[in-house]
Structures are given as C-alpha cells and as structure tokens.
C-alpha cells in the first residue's frame, strides 16, 4: 500500500512577494557548505531484518511522530498571536503538513512492526510538552522561537534520518514530500521574518533579536539531551553517529542563527539594506 504521494503546492504561486525562491537558494548554500555531500548516501532503505532493528525503528518513529504532533499543536498557537494574513497562511499549511507527517510515521511503524504505536506516541507527546513547558505559549516571540528551533535548526536531524539505511521503503518515497514541506516552511518563514524585522526601528530590531536569542538558548538547553537521544536512535538504523551530527548541528545553528538574527550594528545595517535592495529589485 502506497502513501505519502501528495504533491507539494508551488511555492511561487501565491507567495512571490516573499521571494521564497531566494530563501531556497540561501538555505541550499548553507546546507552544501556545512553538511557533507549526501547525494550518494540517500537511497531506498531496507526493512528491518530482526527484532532489534524493528524495536529500534518502533522507538525512533514513535518519538518522531510525537514530535510532529507537538509541532502541529504548537504551530496552531501562532493563530492566536498574529493577525498577519501572510503568516497565518503558512501556519495553517504547516499544521496540516506536520499532522500528516505524524500520521505517516504511525502508519509506517504499524506496517514495519505490526504494532499500533498510538499509546507510546501519546506518552511521548506528553513528555515533550513537559520538556518544553509553556515556551511556545509565551506570546509571539515564544512562538516564533519555537518555529526557529523546530523548523530551521532541525535540518541536520532531518538529513540524518534520510541517510539511515534501515527503515520503511515506502517512507523513503514519502520523504520526498516531507522534505519539500519542511523546506517550504523554512523558506517562507525566513522570507517573512526578514521582511518583518527590516521594517522595525533599530531599537526594536535589537529588542526582538535579543529576546529571540534568549529563547534560543533556553530551547537548546532544554532539548540537548532529547536531541542527542533522537540522533542515537537514528544511528541504530544506520544514520550518522552523535559526534558527527553534533558538529554539523553546531555549525548549521550558528550560520542560520546569524542569518536570521544579526547581532552587530554592521550586520544589522547590512541586513536591513539587503532586504531593501531585494525589495527594490523585485518591484
């Protein structure tokens, strides 16, 4: 039985003024520079062949499915903290995308192991909320910092799952749609955020960036052990080991953070001038 064959909507059909294509190029450049070439590593995974591999698959994707449900639930909170119609259009799409991804993972676990993981997914979801607490509910900036952490900074985790050699071949095919969904979320939100930040006064820019950096440090501290555990589970299925992913993640996080949250006066001026130049060229 096939699943996951929905086609992603064209990024440039409705959102051209946000220059999603440019954001795709930027993040593609980051990825090529920081993450090893995986073109020869990503192939159709083979099914688990023994009880240990099936158990590893079950526990990894019961965790990942719960995380996607957490993301869908937290994303929905954004509807209550912004009335920006552009951003709300992303939020509503993202809720559906991540909810659908969670259902793929649940179905895949049942296909691979013969067990419905819903009870463990529910338990993992509760544990994830207990871990993160009310951070996504702390107004617009708490919610936006959640988006940055789970949509932008998680790229190495997504790619590590893609290079794993043991899994569900059907999920490998569905993954093409999942990766396209996640890329669209990043590119749209990045374009929206950069435009929004560039329209603020310098004082307001510094205030927003400072608060988001504080949230960033909090999210990363809370998730450190959890993230290491997820990567370790992936390694059991042929993904990269923790020491490799840790180094990639540190570099990726630093690069993307500095792009989204420029901190020096010079970087802020360059950021604002750059967005203004891009807007002028687009007109």
In a domain, 270, yes or no: yes
The token duo for 239 is 């993904």
The pLDDT assigned to 43 comes to 67
Domain count, the chain: 1
Overall pTM > 0.85: yes
The pLDDT assigned to 171 comes to 80
In a domain, 18, yes or no: no
* Chain CA centroid to CA 62, Å: 17
The phi-psi region of residue 8 (left if phi > 0; otherwise alpha if psi is between -120 and 50; otherwise beta) is beta
What's the pLDDT band for 215 if we cut at 50, 70, 90? Answer: very high
> Which residues make beta-bridge pairs with 104?
none
In a domain, 75, yes or no: yes
Phi, psi of 166 (to 5 degrees): -115, 130
Higher pLDDT, 277 or 162: 162
In a domain, 21, yes or no: no
In a domain, 12, yes or no: no
- Spatial distance between the Cα atoms of 173 and 43, rounded to a whole number of angstroms: 10
Eight-state DSSP code of residue 108: H
The pLDDT assigned to 9 comes to 40
Judge whether residue 12 has pLDDT over 50.
Answer: no
Q: What's the average model confidence in pLDDT over 60-87?
A: 97
Minimum mean pLDDT range among 111-115, 133-137, 233-237, 272-276? 272-276
- Spatial distance between the Cα atoms of 166 and 50, rounded to a whole number of angstroms: 11
What's the pLDDT band for 273 if we cut at 50, 70, 90? Answer: low
- Spatial distance between the Cα atoms of 8 and 158, rounded to a whole number of angstroms: 18
* Host domain of residue 76: 44-282
Residue 75 sits in a domain of what CATH number? 1.20.1260.10
In a domain, 1, yes or no: no
- Spatial distance between the Cα atoms of 66 and 68, rounded to a whole number of angstroms: 5
What's the pLDDT band for 45 if we cut at 50, 70, 90? Answer: confident
In a domain, 216, yes or no: yes
Average pLDDT, the chain: 88
In a domain, 117, yes or no: yes
On whether the CB atoms of residues 105 and 63 are closer than 8 A, the answer is no
């Amino acid at each position: 039985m096939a699943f996951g064959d929905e086609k992603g909507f064209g990024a440039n059909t409705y959102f051209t003024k946000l220059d999603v294509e440019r954001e795709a190029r930027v993040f593609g450049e980051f990825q090529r520079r920081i993450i090893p070439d995986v073109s020869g590593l990503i192939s159709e995974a083979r099914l688990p062949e023994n009880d240990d591999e099936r158990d590893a698959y079950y526990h990894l994707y019961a965790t990942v499915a719960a995380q996607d449900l957490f993301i869908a639930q937290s994303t929905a909170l954004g509807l209550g903290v912004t009335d920006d119609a552009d951003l709300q259009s992303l939020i509503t799409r993202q809720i559906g995308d991540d909810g659908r991804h969670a259902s793929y993972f649940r179905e895949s676990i049942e296909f691979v192991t013969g067990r419905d993981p819903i009870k463990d997914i529910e338990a993992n979801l509760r544990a994830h909320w207990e871990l993160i607490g009310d951070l996504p509910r702390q107004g617009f900036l708490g919610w936006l910092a959640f988006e940055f952490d789970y949509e932008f900074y998680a790229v190495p985790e997504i790619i590590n799952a893609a290079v794993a050699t043991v899994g569900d071949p059907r999920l490998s095919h569905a993954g093409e749609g999942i990766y396209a969904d996640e890329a669209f979320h990043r590119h749209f939100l990045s374009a929206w955020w950069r435009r929004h930040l560039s329209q603020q006064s310098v004082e307001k820019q510094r205030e927003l960036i400072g608060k988001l950096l504080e949230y960033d440090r909090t999210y990363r501290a809370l998730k450190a052990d959890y993230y290491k555990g997820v990567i370790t589970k992936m390694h059991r299925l042929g993904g990269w080991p923790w020491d490799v992913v840790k180094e990639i993640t540190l570099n990726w996080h630093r690069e993307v953070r500095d792009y989204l949250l420029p901190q020096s006066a010079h970087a802020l001026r360059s950021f604002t001038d750059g967005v203004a130049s891009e807007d002028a060229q687009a007109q």
